[in-house]
A and B are shown apart, each in its own frame.
Chain A
Amino acid sequence: MINAKLKKSLEINFPKQRRMSFLIALFSLLIYICLYSYIDSTLAYSWIFGLLVGFTLQRSRICFTAALRDPILFGMTELARAIILSLFIMTIGYFLIQIYQLSQGLPLPGRFVTLGWHIPIGALIFGIGAALSGGCASGTLVRIGEGFRLQWIALLGFIFGSTHGAYDGDRWYRLFTDIDFPHLPNLIGWRWAILIQLLLLIILYVLAYLWEKYKFG
């Protein structure tokens, strides 16, 4: 009698899918421990980082393609503004980290790509692909986790395309210019770099807000 009641309460409080999620979370922790103790701590941290990011992206429905698309197509900028806010925090954080790293003589963290026409062309192709496949790189991965069979195909295409692009890579990289370290502080100095970037983000945020006001009256 009590047992049945307990079972029912368990069923309501911890339904099947939720139980599965706890199980998978536990299993993920196990993988973390294995990675940390037997292979490499960086891989273990990457794994945890991926879990947290995937969880956050799914829970908050953040999709980068949507952030690029919704302002123009539908006039909705809430998501785009959230990304801008995120970039704002990231910029300040990265700025501090980079200054600290430099002062300690450590390597500068960040993503720097040699400038050239390959960036606009690649970005354009990437954008078209992201719109067609219904999700950017992170969106595709999140949606695979959500159970979309369609995104398996997208990932397959992504891998094919990446490999194809890698094969063609050196042909495109002839478009490289001399600016191989496009770090803004390197180009215009630390003070101007952070000032201009933060100002630009604020302007974009305000413009997005006004655009939505205009679109929805």
Chain B
Amino acid sequence: MSGRLQSLKDDKTFYQLVISQAIDRPWPYWFGGILLALFNLLYVIITGHYWGISNNLARWGAWVLEKVGVNSSQWIVWTYYDYYTEPWLDKQTWSNLGIIIGALIAILLTQNFKLKGIKDKKQFIMVLVGGWLMGYGSRIAIGCNIGGLYSSISSLALNGWIYLPFAITGVYFGNKIIMKLLL
């Protein structure tokens, strides 16, 4: 480590050496993968639920619409998955918030936090459209990359294996679009 942060992040004492090796350095991918599996299994054992993200976002969107005056709680989709009149009682709300705060804790711990801005209008629109497609796709397939792919495959469900090749194809085409537009 050198540069402007030298005085702040200089490794000197044993304590600092341990910190810099154990905390400042990113963990290897495989270690993260194993931890992720263990946490998920513990979660399933303790609560009996799988890990999902995107159902919750639709619930919040519908909740806001309901407040605005749209009759969104009567949509037929809610026969396929539950509607929450109080979406903060949805467990996914809390796991999603937890992911955000957990990542914040991790990045502050390694002193890498920086509020990063938006570069230009093009990027803004692309990300908005990308997010929109992601949300729409995850509702159609009933699951995002977590509920539809990770939790599905690991719970021995065939729908996860069907999801995988098409998600890869989608990501591939998406990257082709990025290359055309931004490179």
Contacts and interface: CB of A to CB of B under 8 A. Distances in A.
Direct contact of A and B (CB under 8 A): yes
Interface of A: 12-13, 15, 17-18, 20-21, 24-25, 28, 35, 39-40, 42-62, 64-65, 68-69, 72-73, 78-79, 81-83, 85-87, 89-91, 93-95, 97-98, 106-107, 109-115, 118-134, 136-138, 140-151, 153-170, 172-173, 179, 182-185, 187, 193-194, 197, 200
A144 B32 CA distance: 19
B165 to A, nearest CB: 8
Nearest to B155: A110
Given A122-B139, A129-B174, A130-B134, A21 B16 contact: no
A146 to B, nearest CB: 5
A35 B136 contact: no
Given A61-B26, A122-B138, A123-B148, A150 B127 contact: yes
Chain B, interface SS category: helix
B2 interface: no
Nearest to B106: A58
Nearest to B128: A157
Interface in B167-182: 167-175, 177-178
Contacts, number: 541
Contacts of B124: 150, 153
A29 to B, nearest CB: 11
B108 to A, nearest CB: 4
A140 B32 CA distance: 17
Chain B: interface residue count, which band? 35 or more
A61 B142 CA distance: 26
A62 B28 CA distance: 9
Contacts of A133: 126-127, 129-131, 133-134
Contact of A123 (B117, B128, B167): B167
B28 to A, nearest CB: 7
A20 B104 CA distance: 10
14 contacts: A18-B108, A46-B92, A56-B32, A82-B29, A113-B142, A115-B158, A115-B159, A122-B140, A125-B134, A129-B134, A140-B131, A146-B113, A157-B130, A162-B54
Contacts of B53: 137-138, 141
A145 B107 contact: yes
Contact of A131 (B15, B37, B177): B177
B100 A145 contact: yes
Contacts of A91: 153-154, 156
Contacts of B143: 111, 113
A128 B132 CA distance: 10
Contact of B95 (A46, A86, A127): A46
B32 A54 contact: no
Contact of A166 (B47, B49, B58, B163): B58
A54 B101 contact: yes
Contact of B100 (A52, A111, A131, A141): A141
A84 to B, nearest CB: 8
Counting chain B CB atoms within 10 Å of each CB, which of A44, A131, A193 scores highest?
A131
Given A59-B26, A126-B144, 6 more contacts: A51-B102, A54-B103, A85-B37, A124-B137, A130-B174, A131-B177
A169 B139 contact: yes
B155 A112 contact: yes
Contacts of B77: 166-167, 169-170, 173
Contact of B171 (A48, A128, A153): A128
